């Protein structure tokens, strides 16, 4: 799903969740190549090439209202957008971000990859290389945006940016760490299991986009 289409869907689902019209919803998507600039992005300082180069290579650019800096989404990456109402007893932003990181850490462990956190930085890491990014926005305690987990992602695409605006760190993928091709759909399933366990939720699968 194109990023702009997914963003519009998120906004509609979030509005419906705020209004209490739908239950907590987890959107799982894969995007064509796109670079997004969050609220922490400083102009184009963390884009390593001019904007027209992205367009020439078929990349979209979007400025968005999530936290964080600049990041990349593309084929081979599991992108999860939880639309959760954190009221009344989950109103802790740091704890919520921790749950997203923890789910990716657990999924990686299931593939024999030891991932963890880096103090002072969001996301899930293998050493100094980021395996999964986190960026969220919360309105009326209902979440949107979420996480991006590199499965078989073309890591050379990250060379066009300073990922998350962090100098001196790299990126990695589950395929690189395991040395084998990992089906993205299997990682999606594992991610749903881990998030459901952490949130103490029972998932009900729906194919396609919510009707909102």
Residue 29 Ramachandran class (φ > 0 left, ψ -120 to 50 alpha, else beta): beta
Structure tokens at 165: 């605006």
164 is annotated as an active-site residue: yes
The answer to whether 142 and 83 are in contact (CB under 8 A) is yes
User: Which H/E stretch holds residue 196?
Assistant: helix 184-199
Catalytic, out of 29, 79, 80, 164: 164
Q: Are 28 and 79 in contact (CB under 8 A)?
A: yes
What is the Cβ-side half-sphere exposure of residue 189, based on CA atoms within 13 angstroms? 6
Q: How far apart are CA 9 and CA 212, in angstroms?
A: 8
Helices 184-199 and 93-110, packing angle to 10 deg: 130
What DSSP string runs through 44-83? TTTBSS-HHHHHHTT-EEEE-SSSSSEEEE-TTEEEEEEE
Q: Which residues are catalytic?
A: 164
């Amino acid at each position: 799903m194109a990023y702009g289409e997914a963003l519009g869907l998120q906004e509609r689902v979030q509005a419906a969740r705020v209004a209490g019209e739908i239950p907590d919803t987890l959107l799982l998507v894969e995007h064509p190549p796109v670079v997004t600039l969050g609220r922490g992005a400083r102009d184009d300082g963390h884009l390593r090439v001019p904007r027209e180069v992205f367009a020439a290579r078929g990349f979209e650019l979007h400025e968005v209202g999530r936290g964080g800096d600049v990041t990349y989404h593309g084929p081979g990456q599991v992108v999860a957008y939880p639309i959760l109402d954190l009221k009344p007893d989950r109103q802790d932003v740091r704890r919520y971000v921790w749950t997203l990181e923890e789910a990716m850490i657990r999924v990686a462990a299931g593939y024999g990859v030891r991932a963890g956190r880096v103090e002072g930085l969001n996301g899930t890491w293998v050493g100094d290389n980021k395996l999964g990014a986190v960026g969220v926005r919360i309105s009326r305690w209902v979440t949107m945006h979420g996480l991006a987990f590199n499965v078989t992602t073309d890591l050379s695409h990250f060379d066009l940016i300073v990922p998350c605006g962090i100098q001196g760190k790299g990126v990695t993928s589950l395929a690189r760490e395991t040395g084998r091709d990992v089906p993205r759909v299997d990682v999606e399933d594992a991610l749903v299991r881990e998030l459901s366990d952490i949130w103490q939720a029972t998932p009900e699968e729906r194919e396609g986009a919510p009707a909102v």
